[in-house]
Amino acid sequence: MAAWDLLFRRVHLATFAGSEPYGTLRDGALAVRAGRIVWLGAERDLPREARAAQEIDGAGGWLLPGLIDCHTHLVHAGNRAREFELRLQGASYEEIARAGGGIRATVAATRAADEAALVAASRPRLARLMAEGVTTVEIKSGYGLELSAERRMLRAARALGETAPVRVTTTFLGAHALPPEYDGRADAYIAEVCDVMLPALYREGLVDAVDAFCERIAFSPAQTEAVFRAARALGLPVRLHAEQLSDSGGAALAARHGALCADHLEHLSEAGAAALAAAGSVAVLLPGAFYFLRETHLPPVARLRALGVPIAIATDCNPGTSPLSSLLLALNMACVLFRLAPAEALAGVTRNAARALGRGDDLGTLEAGKLADLGLWNVDTPAELCYHLGYNPLALRVFGGQISGAGDAAQG
Ligand code: NIG
Ligand code: FE
């Protein structure tokens, strides 16, 4: 038989494939060739002639798919600690946004930064995600709100993906907020997004998907729909910040356009949940933003579950509502705040997160044929990834079949 590049022995596998919640395969082994998983099963079933260039003794740890953070605003400049202070004195997120702060404050800082400065500011955030076993990360634009600055953000995201082993997918979020120069002219800004910015950035190969913020402090359903039409005309998948602060019917609108996912969803209605189910869209829940805004309206998890809507979990790493660069902490919050079972939360950063990025065919589960993005964890059960607070039990990371250390060795 052909030799393998890499063989893990003495591991338990949480495959997130099949019907059992973790897809558990105890006392397993997993083999990699040419960057892909080529064999997995019980170690006792390993073909006797099995040979690999490198063998890893997992010492009874758990091997999981590499974690996927499917919703981040990781590339940005500056921070909003001052706004945090104001909110602690009683100001609300919406009040600050309406007074010209919020997203616009980060837009000013991001417009003032060149591409190198954006990369330098963002790399430590990416390194922290990677140090916890993240092997794929989605990064949005949306703090430029003009062609040149949106381009710099997306180029910075691509540059981060080229200089680190992590896979980066980009999302154009030109319709994140109304830039100050368009005050009172939201429709004109949406026309600029659809007719100028999106086509140019798409032609430059900078856009993998398109997002918008459908909310009373952002864009209306009609404006959101215009963005979706422009995206679909270019063949780009769409997704949406929907029902975060109020019910605008965004999830149903996203579902009508075959969205990969709808995200936030604290104020999702029964009809919105049903529309997501019918469209097969993923519900991406962002417990960091829920926590940081002290939101009290819970996303309808039981309803989503009953309807069979796949649930993903992400950090929403951003300076305003979720300055969080720990997917492990997001997992814990999803369990404690949203009452997800640890197996559900973990499926939300593996199988369902891959699906939210349109990458379910080659990422997100341990199955023969999938890309060998893996994490080996020094835990007794996978639930421990959700259970600990501020503790990182990652032992080893594998990006496309290439081993990279963990702990201090994993910093970027
Ligand atoms: O996902 N909801 C809109 N966008 C971000 C927040 C952006 C910001 O406040 O800077 C979010 O919560
Ligand atoms: Fe977001």
What is the full per-residue pLDDT of the chain (412 aa) written as tens digits?
A: 569 999 999 999 999 999 999 999 999 999 999 999 999 999 999 999 989 999 999 999 999 999 999 999 999 999 999 999 999 999 999 999 988 899 999 999 999 999 999 999 999 999 999 999 999 999 999 999 999 999 999 999 999 999 999 999 999 999 999 999 999 999 999 999 999 999 999 999 999 999 999 999 999 999 999 999 999 999 999 999 999 999 999 999 999 999 999 999 999 999 999 999 999 999 999 999 999 999 999 999 999 999 999 999 999 999 999 999 999 999 999 999 999 999 999 999 999 999 999 999 999 999 999 999 999 999 999 999 999 999 999 999 999 999 987 654 344 3
Give the closest residue to 236 by CA, choosing from 263, 218, 215, 257: 257
Residue 18 CB neighbour total at 10 angstroms: 12
Helical axes 147-163 vs 103-111, angle rounded to 10° = 80
Position 227 scores a pLDDT of 98
Question: Which residue's C-alpha comes closest to atom 11 of ligand 1?
Answer: 321
Specify the pairing of strand 402-404 against strand 394-399.
Answer: antiparallel
The Cα 20–Cα 266 span in angstroms is: 28
Asked whether residue 143 is marked as a ligand-binding residue, the answer is: yes
Tell whether ligand 1 has an atom less than 6 A from the beta carbon of residue 213: yes
Other C-beta atoms lying within 10 Å of the C-beta of residue 20: 12
Does the beta carbon of 62 sit less than 6 angstroms from any atom of ligand 1? Answer: no
- CA of 164 from ligand 2 middle (Å) equals 23
pLDDT at 50: 87
The predicted structure's pLDDT at residue 93: 92
Q: For the whole model, what pTM was predicted?
A: 0.97
The residues facing 261 across adjacent strands are 239, 282
- Distance (Å, whole) CA 68 – CA 373: 10
CA dihedral 307→358→283→242, nearest 10 degrees, is -130
Q: Is the CB of 72 within 6 Å of ligand 1?
A: no
Residue 12 in marked binding region:
no
**From the CB of 244, is ligand 1 less than 6 Å away?**
yes
pLDDT value, residue 1: 58
Give yes or no for residue 318 CB within 6 A of ligand 1.
Answer: yes
Burial of 56 by CB count in 10 Å (0-12 exposed, 13-18 middle, 19+ buried)?
Answer: buried
Verify whether ligand 1 is closer than 6 Å to residue 103 (CB atom).
Answer: yes
Which atom of ligand 1 is found nearest the CA of 319?
Answer: 10
Alpha carbon of 42 to ligand 2 centroid (Å): 40
The answer to whether the annotation marks 241 as part of a ligand binding site is: yes
